[in-house]
A and B are shown apart, each in its own frame.
Chain A
Amino acid sequence: MTRAFAPGLTTALTAVALAGFTGAAAAGPGPDEDQLVINGEIEIVTEAEAPAHMEYVDTVYSGWRFRSDETQAVQMDDFDNPAMIWVENAMEDWETVEGAAGESCASCHGDVEELRGVRAVYPKWNEEAGEVRTLEMQINDCRETRMEAEPWKYSGGDMINMTALIASVSRGMPVNVAIDGPAQSTWEQGQELYYTRFGQLELSCANCHEDNYGMMIRADHLSQGQINGFPTYRLKNTKLNSVHARFRGCIRDTRAHTFAEGSPEFVALELYVASRGNGLSVEGPSVRN
C-alpha cells in the first residue's frame, strides 16, 4: 500500500513544483509591471490596447518593459541617459548655419520645441513629393532644398543625433502614424514585408516579435520590436541606433541579404512597424540592451 501511494505523492509534489516554476518564468522574460516616468515629470505610456489593424496581438508593450530594472533606470533621468550627450550635440547643429542658402534649422523652425509632435506622426505621406517620408528623409529634404546643404548619410552620426533631438521633444506624446489614404499602399507593402520570411533561417519579423515576444532569444528578452523608443542608445554598442540600422541587423541575423538603410522597402516597413505602436508614447532616445 505504501508503495502504491508513493507515486501519487511524487506526482503531486512535481505538479506544485512545476506550477511554481511556471509562475516565476512568466514574471521573467515577459513585460514587467514597472511604470516609466522620465525626469519625474514626463509620463510614458508603455502599454496600450493594440491598434485595430493588429489581428494577433491584444496589447502592445514598449521594449522598455522587457528590460532589467538597471537598464530601465538609465532612461528615467536625462542626466543618466547617455543619448542626451548626442541630443546636445544636435542642438548645436540645429543652430548652425550651413549651405548656400545661409540657413540653419532654427532660422525656419525657431526653437526645437516647435517640432513637438513631429516624431509621433512620422513616417508620413508627403503630398508634394507623392511619397511616404521618414523623419530622416524630411531632414535631408530640408537640408537640400531649404538650406542648399549636403544631405547627411541616412544613418550617419549627425542624422541620428538630429532625429534623437526631434524625438526628445515629443516624448510622452502618443505615436499616431496615418495608415489610410495615400499612405495605405506603402503601409500594406510594409505589412507584407513584416510577414515575409527572409534568409537561410526563414524568419519573418512576426516569427520573433509577434509569435514569441516575452520569450528568451538566447540570453536576451524578446520584445515586440516596437520602434517608439528610437533612436535607441544600446548598451551593446554604446551609441545611438537608428530604426533602419536595427532592421538591417535583424534581417542580417536571419542570414539574408538586407535592404539598404533609407530604401523604399525599409521606409514601408518603418511605417508598418510604427503603426503597430500607435497608442504607445514617443520615448526616443531610449536606452536598451
Chain B
Amino acid sequence: MADGVKPRVKVPKTAAAGEAITIKTLISHKMESGQRKDGDGNTIPRSIINRFVVDFNGENVIDVTLEPAISTNPYFEFEATVPESGEFTFKWFDDDGSVYEETKAVEVG
C-alpha cells in the first residue's frame, strides 16, 4: 500500500425516493505518473489509482478508469438517484494491488 492513502466520501445521510443526490469523493494518493525521474536520473516507478468503482446495493453506479495524467489526490463528484434505502460501496484500485474501500448508508424517507 502506498503511503498516506486515505479515502474520503461525502454522501447525504437522507434522501427522497428517486432523488438525485450529489456524491463527493476524494482519495489522497500521490498518483506518481511513471514519467518522472529522480535526482539520479532513474525513473520513479508508476504508482497510481487505476480504477474507481461505486456500487449501490450491489448495482454498479459508476466505473472509472484512471490514467497516469490524473493529478494527485483524485476527486470525483457525481450524482446518483437512490430508489430505496441502502448502502453505497466505494472502491479504489491501486497499481500495487491494494484496494481501498469505503461504505456509506443512505436513508430514504
Contact = CB atoms under 8 A, between A and B. Distances in A.
- Please indicate whether A and B come from the same complex rather than being unrelated chains: yes
B28 A85 contact: yes
Contacts of B24: 79-80
Contacts of B8: 79
B6 A79 contact: no
Given A79-B24, A80-B24, A85 B10 contact: no
A88 interface: yes
A82 B73 contact: yes
B26 interface: yes
B10 A79 contact: yes
**Size class of B's contact patch?**
under 10
A179 B73 CA distance: 42
Interface string B19-52: 0000010101000000000000000000000000
Contacts of A85: 26, 28, 73
Nearest to A238: B72
Given A79-B24, A79-B26, A80-B24, A88 B6 contact: yes
Nearest to B71: A238
Interface residues of A, number: 5
A182 B24 CA distance: 49
Contacts of B10: 79
A88 B5 CA distance: 12
Nearest to A82: B73
Contacts of A79: 8, 10, 24, 26
Interface string A193-231: 000000000000000000000000000000000000000
Interface in A75-120: 79-80, 82, 85, 88
A80 B10 CA distance: 10
Contacts of B6: 88
Interface in B48-94: 73
A79 B25 CA distance: 9
A80 B8 CA distance: 11
A82 B26 CA distance: 10
A79 B73 CA distance: 12
Nearest to A78: B10
A85 B6 CA distance: 10
A80 B22 CA distance: 13
A232 to B, nearest CB: 18
A79 B26 CA distance: 8
Nearest to B26: A79
Contacts of B26: 79, 85
Nearest to B24: A79
A96 to B, nearest CB: 14
A80 B24 CA distance: 9
A83 B26 CA distance: 13
A251 B99 CA distance: 47
A79 to B, nearest CB: 5
B103 to A, nearest CB: 17
A82 B8 CA distance: 12
Interface of B: 6, 8, 10, 24, 26, 28, 73
Given A85-B26, A85-B73, 8 more contacts: A79-B8, A79-B10, A79-B24, A79-B26, A80-B24, A82-B73, A85-B28, A88-B6
10 contacts: A79-B8, A79-B10, A79-B24, A79-B26, A80-B24, A82-B73, A85-B26, A85-B28, A85-B73, A88-B6
8 nearest A-B residue pairs (beta carbon): A79-B10, A79-B24, A85-B28, A85-B73, A79-B8, A79-B26, A80-B24, A88-B6
